[in-house]
Amino acid sequence: MSLFERLFRRGPSEFAVQINGGEHTLRASTSESLLQAALKQGLPFPHNCRVGGCGECKCRLVSGQVKELTDKSYLLSAQEIQSNVILACQSQPRSDVVIEVTLQAQGSAHPVVDTRARIVSLQPLTHDIVHLVLQTELAMPHAAGQCAELTVPAQSPHGGERRSYSFASPSTPEGDAQMADFYIRKVPGGAFTEWLFNHAQVGDTLPISGPHGQFTLRPGSQAMVFVAGGSGLAPIKAMLEDALQGTHSARTAWVFFGARTQADLYALPELDTIQRQWAGRIRFVPVLSAEPEDSAWAGLRGLVTEHLGSQLNMPLSDAQAYLCGPPPMVDACVAELTALGMPPASILSDKFLNKADLARAAA
Ligand SMILES: Cc1cc2nc3c(=O)[nH]c(=O)nc-3n(C[C@H](O)[C@H](O)[C@H](O)COP(=O)(O)OP(=O)(O)OC[C@H]3O[C@@H](n4cnc5c(N)ncnc54)[C@H](O)[C@@H]3O)c2cc1C
Ligand code: FES
Are residues 344 and 252 part of one domain?
A: yes
Residue 185's pLDDT is 98
Residue 10's pLDDT is 55
| 107, part of any domain | no
Domain boundary among 188, 212, 236: 212
* Cβ atoms of 266 and 125 closer than 8 Å: yes
Would you place residue 174 in the very low, low, confident or very high pLDDT band (cuts 50, 70, 90)? low
Residue 108's pLDDT is 52
Query: What gap in Å lies between CA 275 and CA 288, rounded to an integer?
Result: 20
Using the atom order of ligand 1, give the atom closest to the CA of residue 184.
11
Query: What gap in Å lies between CA 272 and CA 299, rounded to an integer?
Result: 16
How many domains does the chain contain in total? 3
Are residues 228 and 154 part of one domain?
A: no
CATH code for the domain in which residue 50 is found: 3.10.20.30
* Cβ atoms of 253 and 224 closer than 8 Å: yes
Would you place residue 105 in the very low, low, confident or very high pLDDT band (cuts 50, 70, 90)? low
Instruction: Work out the average pLDDT over 145-170.
Output: 95
Backbone φ, ψ for residue 356 (5° rounding)? -65, -40
Mutation choice for ligand 1 from 187, 193, 330, CB with most ligand atoms inside 8 A: 187
In this predicted model, what pLDDT tens digit does every residue of 204-253 receive, in sequence order? 999 999 998 889 999 899 999 999 999 999 999 999 999 999 889 999 99
CB of 235 shorter than 6 A to ligand 2? no
Ligand closest in space to the Cα of 126: 1
CB of 47 shorter than 6 A to ligand 2? yes
Domain boundary among 52, 76, 100: 100
| 46, part of any domain | yes
Query: What gap in Å lies between CA 259 and CA 289, rounded to an integer?
Result: 6
Are residues 127 and 93 part of one domain?
A: no
Residue whose C-alpha is closest to residue 18's, from 51, 81, 60: 60
Query: What gap in Å lies between CA 184 and CA 198, rounded to an integer?
Result: 13
CATH code for the domain in which residue 345 is found: 3.40.50.80
| 246, part of any domain | yes
SS3 per residue for 155-224: CCCCCCCEEEEEECCCCCCCCCCCEEEEEEECCCCCHHHHHHHHCCCCCCEEEEEEEECCCCCCCCCCCE
Are residues 40 and 134 part of one domain?
A: no
| 263, part of any domain | yes
Instruction: Work out the average pLDDT over 71-77.
Output: 81
Are residues 343 and 256 part of one domain?
A: yes
Are residues 124 and 45 part of one domain?
A: no
Helices (H), ranges, 263-315: 268-277, 304-311
Are residues 311 and 256 part of one domain?
A: yes
| 106, part of any domain | no
Domain that holds residue 23: 3-100
Are residues 276 and 342 part of one domain?
A: yes
Are residues 186 and 124 part of one domain?
A: yes
Query: What gap in Å lies between CA 192 and CA 205, rounded to an integer?
Result: 14
Would you place residue 6 in the very low, low, confident or very high pLDDT band (cuts 50, 70, 90)? low
Residue whose C-alpha is closest to residue 266's, from 215, 321, 229, 226: 229
In this predicted model, what pLDDT tens digit does every residue of 47-58 receive, in sequence order? 888 888 888 899
Ligand 1 centroid, distance to 187 Cα (angstroms): 7
Are residues 338 and 236 part of one domain?
A: yes
CATH code for the domain in which residue 139 is found: 2.40.30.10
Are residues 247 and 167 part of one domain?
A: no
Task: Please state whether beta strands 179-185 and 205-212 pair in parallel, antiparallel, or not at all (unpaired).
Answer: unpaired
Domain boundary among 78, 100, 122: 100
| 105, part of any domain | no
Are residues 196 and 280 part of one domain?
A: no
| 361, part of any domain | no
| 360, part of any domain | no
pTM of this structure: 0.89
Query: What gap in Å lies between CA 212 and CA 111, rounded to an integer?
Result: 9
Instruction: Work out the average pLDDT over 17-40.
Output: 93
Would you place residue 170 in the very low, low, confident or very high pLDDT band (cuts 50, 70, 90)? very high
Using the atom order of ligand 1, give the atom closest to the CA of residue 182.
8
CB of 52 shorter than 6 A to ligand 2? yes
Ligand 2 centroid, distance to 344 Cα (angstroms): 19
